A and B are shown apart, each in its own frame.
Chain A
């Protein structure tokens, strides 16, 4: 039975411009240092940036199901295994540096045979697909989509998950969670984690303490690629509104999974073309359109055309409101107040 969710007064929404994300992981660290830096939270990355194509984090999350089916029923996906997260490396520096223990400081879990850890949040960094020189890759930042139809909320047997009426942020009430972990299985993005230390579900909180003060989320406020926008979709002056509702260039990731995400992606339109064996450039971009369609849906060709047309205007030194929004000369125009 679908649970009743009151439509929030305002919906906190994000736009990630994949043309600007440089894969630097500053957002990942900013989030981790602020929110998930306690014992037991090592594998928990509310925010991560993964190389695409790639297996992502947790490994193969996109193939593990979850979300809603055509009939609107929430789906129980496969629970990621410990190996899909990988055991976070630990290092005993003190022994080597101060206590005279010989050898090198090895990451633990220890290497066995020639291999070592099974997986880590950025294990296949910059690898992508294709053979040199026509290989390709790009970066995909991810955090909770604060969906309008959250599968985690729907799946929770203890009603511990709710969507805030004031800002649409989806939260797990840490006092109500009873460790059922249905949310982990239901989220088609594997963005709900399980904290083994507290025995509670753990997920991105949309930086609500900051949002309540009108301050941008930690990931967006510290995005040095200046690749992210955050605001309320109902605010027609916000860049998220302009990009998603007016220019319609923001697309949800795997939108067909039915959760109605509030994080939108501007697909990567910048990038070189493929080349033939003689080194001559062809016209097709290296990133195959089909791959982008797989991630962001059938609207990708339309969006790519808009982006190409608008950038084309700037190439001809004509004005483009869309390019100006994406450039975002002032951070304050891309987000709530960036200052803390």
Chain B
């Protein structure tokens, strides 16, 4: 049966069609592919078989997606029978790209039981108002009217008694549900409340890529893995954390690609790799620089690429460690134009495309939120070198504008000298524990196999010095000319960070423009308002000094301003409390500051449990929204299989109702107009509902979804009906064009069209001459050991789990039955034995930040000196005390607080301090207290 026929048949739906499909042998024979059996071959049992035929039947099937913090973005069909959603199945109708395996089927163990949250015991059915203590789980049922009235009044009280910026709305991850995301942002925007960053706070932001490339982050779609001839899985286990895409790794291997997995533990992806390299945890940068050593030593460097695409030829003053700037040499010269040394003319020559240079016609008005600057209007070929031949090696003299002569060296010369001196295979072997020969072999394979791809993950992205790690990965990729090539590049798959149609999301969220919106940087927000202790003084880093400077100079934003405390906290689509690092401080110090905590949720998660008012949200199968991801290049959707059950509502509708209620209460209380000093604007609360819905043009979620599609180049021309028919490929993307049938890989605007990179230097920038980088000794990507600020013996590793998406599905019964019923601390046998711990024993885990009591699973895939626990079980789950986040501190790296250096500036989720929990250390001992029954 052809696909079209089948779809047409199913679209008929209804009883008439189902009657023929499921009610009898005649119809079955007609539809079956097999030729009719001869009578003597017929068995006589057929009657009872109808039992299971009936079970595999449905009245309707609708588009479904799982609107959670997951990168999968897996199109599903949702099947409904007699008004009950019975199950879901991957839709398997994603279009194919050319020459690579298809994306179908796309799903996972969690997505296959998404209905469980629809009907399960966690479901929030009605508006609830807390009657016990926060976290106790005692509630009374309220009407929507009452609950929204309390919330609106408390917000108006806060505006009257404190300031509007004391109202905080937290909702993360626009890509998975941009309409739902925008609902609360639009509301916050209109009243003047602040909203939050999340990509950085969650530890997903590839800070080093922003430093090097001037982008928030960009990666190849997963199908491009198949095009790599060599894949380095670096701290990444797709078989566990990128389940729908893991097949591309194994298929690449079968297709003749070599797979190397670099990870301390023998993980579920490594078991199929050709080579396993297991450095000591946190020493990966040293390994990368050891590889760079071999590439440079053995002349495996793509010199032409390095000269054109990177700042490595740029001249640095040896007296100040700063770039040689036009302002150094020329009166009135730019501080954002830089020099290379031209081998032919033996003179310093200004490089093209630097930050200080403007494209013909001036700077473009439109600034993509995910780029350091908009260089897309520069003509093609701008950074091409032409006749210029910049020196990479050597030492030169430059004459300053005052006539003084200074020594200058290309970055490459400075850096190569250090790499050749400090990162010999022998030294790197001592740091990492990896055999010298393995380092050399790896480097040579990487330097001689084209294209070669680095795939990195949480294993390398959650460290205090993760930024350097990604800078070093880019160094390897640039030295070998792998950037911008299909099958090449550096691809950090961590976090659901790519709402490809971002201009549409921004237009819906911020009708007055993002510049008129209060964004707070969440890592700083939590660190400050929770008064979190980071122990960094023990390693000689005064976080607060840098933080103060960053905030005073408005390099990074913090709300509320002027030392006020947040008062109203509205959280939805994110389990803020459960995921919060420094959780003990959050509960002890931040939570009491909040007069009202509101949670809009389909389930009673930990944040909901510790809230004052919980509002029932529609489940993913009861609402309409879009979904996008960085892992593939298709937009798909979910739509209501059934109407929202109980009293639950779509987030879009909830914030419209809240706007209406706020408007009514404001009018009643004589607060129709509120002046906002910071933006010098008078906000009209008497028309809030009309503003929220754009006078009815955005009344429904479907209208909002279409608005997003219409307002982004990636999706302009795509309609909801088209997506309902089949997932649709993006028409444009962030840093490379979308080519028919070709997997997307980033940065081709720079590597192929040769537009300037969106960095200060207009190149991939490895040298960052900001004072703070120089103070920390990281103006170049050099190895920095993990931060051992916790004086405890075991590294505490908190990866993602196979059986959960962060906290979602952690408490799912089916998932727990496929584990051991609860969270586990995985311990290597030697460490367990040394502590008298046996498999399944309860153990106490602690450090200076907090304590947790958990069961132990003895695991021989773990290296000694480390324990592992999949992150963030819910606070009501089967531990005796605490959770992973009890012992994970909030640590802010000063370099991530920089906001006054070209492309290093604050934009929400573009640059800012992130999660650095993998440096944490703990002690473990046998728990001898009372075990609750």
Contacts and interface: CB of A to CB of B under 8 A. Distances in A.
Nearest to A37: B87
A63 interface: no
B860 A327 contact: no
Contact of B838 (A100, A103, A110, A114): A114
B15 to A, nearest CB: 19
Interface string A216-230: 001001111111000
Contact of A225 (B121, B247, B276): B247
Given A29-B814, A117-B820, A135-B860, A338 B92 contact: yes
A135 B43 contact: no
Contact of B109 (A24, A116, A175): A24
Interface in A110-138: 110-111, 113-117, 120-123, 125-133, 135-138
B21 to A, nearest CB: 8
Given A100-B138, A120-B821, A339-B93, A212 B273 contact: no
A222 B110 CA distance: 12
Residue picked from B53, B256, B859, most chain A C-beta under 10 Å: B256
Interface stretch (A84-92, A189-197, A240-248, A296-304): A84-92
B89 A114 contact: no
Of B106, B266, B817, B880, chain A has the most CB atoms within 10 Å of the CB of: B817
Contact of A94 (B43, B121, B864): B121
A206 to B, nearest CB: 10
B27 to A, nearest CB: 10
A237 interface: no
Given A123-B820, A224-B244, A314 B107 contact: no
Given A104-B877, A212-B32, A271-B271, A23 B821 contact: no
A121 to B, nearest CB: 6
Determine which residue in A91, A107, A173, A280 has the highest number of CB atoms from chain B within 10 A of its CB, and name it.
A91
B87 A331 contact: no
A328 B811 contact: no
B137 A166 contact: no
A270 B253 contact: yes
B880 A222 contact: no
A329 B120 CA distance: 37
Nearest to B855: A116
A39 interface: no
Interface in B821-846: 821-822, 828-829, 838, 840-842
A13 to B, nearest CB: 14
Contact of B42 (A42, A92, A165): A165
B105 A338 contact: yes
Interface stretch (A66-74, A179-187, A315-323): A315-323
Contacts of B255: 314, 323, 327
Contacts of A207: 56
Interface stretch (B433-441, B478-486, B668-676): B433-441
A226 B247 contact: yes
A60 interface: no
B647 to A, nearest CB: 15
Contacts of B31: 212-214
Nearest to B268: A23
Given A114-B840, A114-B931, A222-B89, A120 B105 contact: no
A111 B933 contact: yes
Given A20-B250, A224-B244, A208 B52 contact: yes
Contact of A226 (B42, B101, B864, B877): B101
Given A104-B876, A208-B49, A213-B31, A337 B112 contact: no
A199 B806 CA distance: 39
A279 interface: yes
A2 interface: no
A89 B815 CA distance: 10
A173 B50 CA distance: 11
Given A99-B137, A135-B860, A226-B101, A106 B878 contact: yes
Contacts of A93: 120-122, 604, 811, 876
B861 A126 contact: yes
Contact of A96 (B104, B137, B246): B137
B382 interface: no
A26 to B, nearest CB: 5
A83 interface: no
Contacts of A122: 818-819
A278 B108 CA distance: 39
A19 B250 contact: yes
- Report the contact-size class of chain A (Cβ under 8 Å from the partner): 35 or more
Contact of B861 (A110, A116, A135, A270): A135
- Most chain A CB within 10 A, of B42, B251, B855, is at B251
Contacts of B818: 25, 28-29, 120-122, 125
Contacts of B51: 174
A282 to B, nearest CB: 12
Contacts of B619: none
Nearest to A167: B34
Interface string B49-78: 101110110000100000000000000010
A39 to B, nearest CB: 13
B515 interface: no
B657 interface: no
Contacts of B514: none
A114 B836 CA distance: 13
B32 A214 contact: yes
Given A28-B818, A165-B41, A100 B90 contact: no
Contact of A171 (B45, B96, B821): B45
Contacts of B817: 42, 88-89, 120-121
Most buried by B among A28, A89, A115, A136: A89
A121 B821 CA distance: 11
A213 B55 CA distance: 14
Contacts of A126: 268, 859, 861
Contact of A270 (B120, B274, B816, B931): B274
Interface string B209-251: 0000000000000000000000000000001000110110011
Nearest to B133: A100
Contacts of A323: 254-256
B48 interface: yes
Contacts of A33: 87-88, 112-113, 115
Nearest to B74: A224
A53 to B, nearest CB: 12
Contacts of B28: 212
Nearest to B137: A100
Interface in B116-172: 120-122, 132, 136-139
Contacts of A102: 136
A243 to B, nearest CB: 13
A120 B840 CA distance: 13
Which residue, A97, A205, A210, A337, has most C-beta atoms of chain B within 10 A?
A97
A132 B113 contact: no
B811 A91 contact: yes
A25 B6 contact: no
* 9 closest A-B pairs by CB: A314-B256, A107-B821, A279-B435, A100-B138, A22-B239, A165-B41, A214-B33, A97-B604, A29-B112
25 contacts: A20-B251, A22-B246, A24-B239, A25-B109, A33-B87, A33-B113, A91-B811, A93-B120, A93-B604, A93-B811, A110-B933, A115-B840, A127-B860, A133-B276, A171-B45, A175-B47, A176-B48, A205-B52, A212-B34, A214-B33, A221-B90, A227-B250, A272-B273, A317-B256, A329-B102
Interface of B: 1, 3, 6-7, 28, 31-34, 37, 41-43, 45, 47-49, 51-53, 55-56, 61, 77, 87-90, 92-93, 96, 99-102, 104-109, 111-113, 115, 120-122, 132, 136-139, 239, 243-244, 246-247, 250-251, 253-256, 258-259, 261, 266, 268-276, 278, 433-435, 437-438, 604, 609, 802-803, 811, 813-814, 816-822, 828-829, 838, 840-842, 855, 859-864, 876-880, 931-933
Given A33-B87, A42-B817, 7 more contacts: A115-B840, A125-B818, A127-B861, A214-B1, A222-B112, A323-B256, A327-B101
